[in-house]
C-alpha cells in the first residue's frame, strides 16, 4: 500500500497532509526517514509519525445522546449529522447501530464493528429497544393489550411483534419493541389513532442511555456494555 494512504487511514491527516509530513521528515518506516509519500510499504513495516508508531486502533463502541435536529446518517446536505457531534479521529469509519428520526432524541450507538452492530439491528436477534413517548391524546385502557397482541401497520404484511407498553401518565408511555421497522413507534401509535409528540430512546438491549450525558454528549462503552450485546 502507498505510504500516504496507509497513514491517512489511521490518523486524521489527509493524503496531502501526509505528503507534507513526509517532506518535513516526520515519517519513518522501519526507523528510516521516508520523504516520498508515494512510497510502497508492506503490512509488516513499522511506520512512525513524529516517532510514534501508527497502529490500526481496535474496534470502537460509542453511546451518544442524540439531540433534536440531528440526522442519523454519516452525511447529509441539509442537516447536521450525529457524526458531527463526535470529536474522534477517523470518525467516518463509524456506522450507526439503529437510526433515530431527526425529531427523536436519545440513545444512539456507533461502532466500526459490523458484526456487533448486526446483532443489534438484525431482526433475528430480537434486541429490545425502549422508548419514552409523549402522546397527543390520552392512551386507551386497552392499548397495552393491543401492543402485546401486535398491531397492523399500514402497508405491512405482518403484525408487529408483541411489544410491552407501560402507561406512565394519561399521555406518557414507555414502550419496548424487539424490532425496528421504519418509523415503527410513531406508526404503532398512529394505528391506534394517536400521535407521538416527543420520542426518546432510553435503552438498546441491556445498554441504558447514561444519565450523565447531556444532549449532544457521548462516551465510549464499558467492556461490560460491549459484552452485553451477544
Binding site for ligand URA (CB under 6 A): 100-101, 104, 183-186, 199
- Judged by beta carbon, residue 65 or residue 186, the one nearer ligand URA is 186
Q: How far is the CB of 128 from ligand URA (least distance, A)?
A: 13
Q: How far is the CB of 186 from ligand URA (least distance, A)?
A: 4
Q: How far is the CB of 154 from ligand URA (least distance, A)?
A: 13
- CA distance from start to end of the chain: 35
Contacts of 26 (CB under 8 A, 6+ apart): 49, 50
- Judged by beta carbon, residue 45 or residue 179, the one nearer ligand URA is 179
Backbone angles phi, psi at 23, to 5 degrees: -60, -35
- Judged by beta carbon, residue 19 or residue 200, the one nearer ligand URA is 200
- Judged by beta carbon, residue 54 or residue 190, the one nearer ligand URA is 190
DSSP H or E segment with residue 69: none
Residue pair 111/60 in contact (Cβ under 8 Å)? The answer is yes
Catalytic hit among 101, 113, 128, 210: 101
Q: Work out whether the CA dihedral 175, 203, 87, 43 comes out positive or negative.
A: negative
Q: How far is the CB of 122 from ligand URA (least distance, A)?
A: 16
Hey, how many other C-beta atoms are within 10 angstroms of the C-beta on 111?
A: 21
Q: How far is CA 140 from the centre of its chain?
A: 33
**CB neighbour class for 181 (10 Å; exposed up to 12, middle 13-18, buried from 19):** middle
Q: Is 101 a catalytic residue?
A: yes
- Enzyme catalytic residues: 101
Amino acid at each position: 500500500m502507498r505510504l500516504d494512504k496507509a497513514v491517512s487511514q489511521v490518523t486524521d491527516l489527509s493524503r496531502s497532509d501526509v505528503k507534507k509530513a513526509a517532506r518535513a521528515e516526520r515519517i519513518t518506516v522501519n526507523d528510516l526517514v521516508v520523504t516520498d509519500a508515494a512510497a510502497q510499504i508492506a503490512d509488516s513495516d513499522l511506520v512512525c509519525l513524529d516517532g510514534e508508531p501508527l497502529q490500526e486502533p481496535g474496534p470502537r463502541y460509542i453511546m451518544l445522546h442524540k439531540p433534536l435536529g440531528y440526522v442519523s446518517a454519516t452525511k447529509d446536505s441539509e442537516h447536521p449529522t450525529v457524526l458531527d457531534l463526535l470529536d474522534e479521529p477517523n470518525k467516518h469509519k463509524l456506522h450507526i447501530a439503529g437510526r433515530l428520526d431527526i425529531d427523536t432524541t436519545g440513545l444512539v450507538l456507533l461502532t466500526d464493528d459490523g458484526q456487533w452492530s448486526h446483532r443489534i439491528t438484525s431482526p433475528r436477534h430480537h434486541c429490545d429497544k425502549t422508548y419514552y413517548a409523549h402522546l397527543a391524546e390520552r392512551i386507551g385502557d386497552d392499548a397495552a393489550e393491543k401492543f402485546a397482541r401486535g398491531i397492523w401497520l399500514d402497508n405491512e404484511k405482518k403484525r408487529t411483534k408483541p411489544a410491552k407498553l407501560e402507561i406512565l401518565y394519561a399521555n406518557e408511555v414507555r414502550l419496548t419493541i424487539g424490532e425496528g421497522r421504519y418509523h415503527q413507534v410513531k406508526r404503532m401509535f398512529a394505528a391506534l389513532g394517536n400521535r407521538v409528540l416527543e420520542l426518546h430512546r432510553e435503552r438498546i438491549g441491556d445498554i441504558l442511555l447514561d444519565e450523565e450525558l447531556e444532549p449532544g454528549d457521548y462516551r465510549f462503552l464499558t467492556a461490560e456494555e460491549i459484552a452485553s450485546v451477544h
